[in-house]
């Protein structure tokens, strides 16, 4: 798919940057004229992906997070969140609801939440080298529905 527009952001894996990532994603997606519900879904999915980097990829250090957003043909928003942290040994297990490596205070629902708010979720990871989560969401043009 061809990208009509894109942005790339890179920031430290600090919890204070999670809100920035959510807001940046929402602002970029706004060019597709999404509904408030769609904006909320996008912000929630980005929040979960970035939080996973902060909590799981770099549990005892601050690392680098890169977020790339693209507008693809057909008004599809693609969001990729990448880290260079611990990686995931068993992606299938990590995607199971309630599975977590983040301790008792973590719900283990991050991937499940991302999947429920996006049309497609892909997780690629190499232990010791990092993880990339790619999410796709079609934004239905409100002009076409009127």
- Structural domain boundaries in the chain: 3-145
The one catalytic residue among 66, 95, 106, 124: 106
pTM for the complete prediction?
0.86
Share of the chain above pLDDT 70, in %: 83
Does the active-site annotation cover 106? yes
- CB–CB of 38/137 below 8 Å? yes
- CB–CB of 38/25 below 8 Å? no
Locate tokens 């770099």: which residue? Answer: 58
DSSP secondary structure of 26-92: HHHHGGG---HHHHHHHHHHHHHHHHHIIIIISTTS--EEEEEEEEETTTEEEEEEEE-SS--S-HH
Q: Is 142 helix (H, G, I), strand (E, B) or coil?
A: helix
Does the active-site annotation cover 48? yes
Does the active-site annotation cover 17? no
Confidence of residue 96 (pLDDT cuts 50, 70, 90): low
The whole-angstrom separation of Cα 8 and Cα 67 is: 6
Question: What pLDDT was estimated at residue 18?
Answer: 96
pLDDT digits (tens, 9 = 90+) for 12-29: 999 999 999 999 999 999
The one catalytic residue among 22, 38, 52, 86: 52
Confidence of residue 80 (pLDDT cuts 50, 70, 90): very high
The distance between the two most distant Cα atoms of the chain, rounded to a whole number of Å, is: 51
The whole-angstrom separation of Cα 105 and Cα 82 is: 24
Options 3.30.1060.10, 3.30.565.10, 3.40.50.150, 1.10.3720.10; CATH of 3-145: 3.30.565.10
Q: Which two tokens stand for residue 19?
A: 């809100």
Cα 77 → chain centroid: 11
pLDDT greater at residue 91 or residue 100: 91
pLDDT digits (tens, 9 = 90+) for 31-71: 999 999 999 999 999 999 999 999 889 989 999 999 999 99
């Amino acid at each position: 798919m061809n990208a009509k527009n894109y942005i790339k952001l890179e920031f430290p894996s600090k919890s204070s940057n999670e809100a920035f990532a959510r807001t940046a994603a929402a602002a970029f997606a706004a060019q597709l004229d999404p509904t408030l519900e769609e904006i909320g879904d996008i912000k929630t999915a980005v929040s979960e992906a970035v939080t996973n980097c902060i909590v799981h990829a770099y549990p005892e250090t601050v690392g680098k997070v890169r977020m790339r957003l693209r507008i693809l043909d057909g008004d599809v928003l693609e969001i990729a969140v990448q880290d260079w942290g611990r990686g995931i040994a068993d992606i299938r297990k990590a995607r199971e609801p309630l599975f977590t490596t983040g301790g008792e205070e973590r719900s283990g629902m991050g991937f499940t939440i991302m999947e429920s708010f996006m049309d497609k979720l892909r997780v690629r990871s190499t232990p010791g080298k990092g993880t990339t989560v790619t999410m796709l969401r079609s934004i239905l043009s409100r002009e076409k529905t009127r």
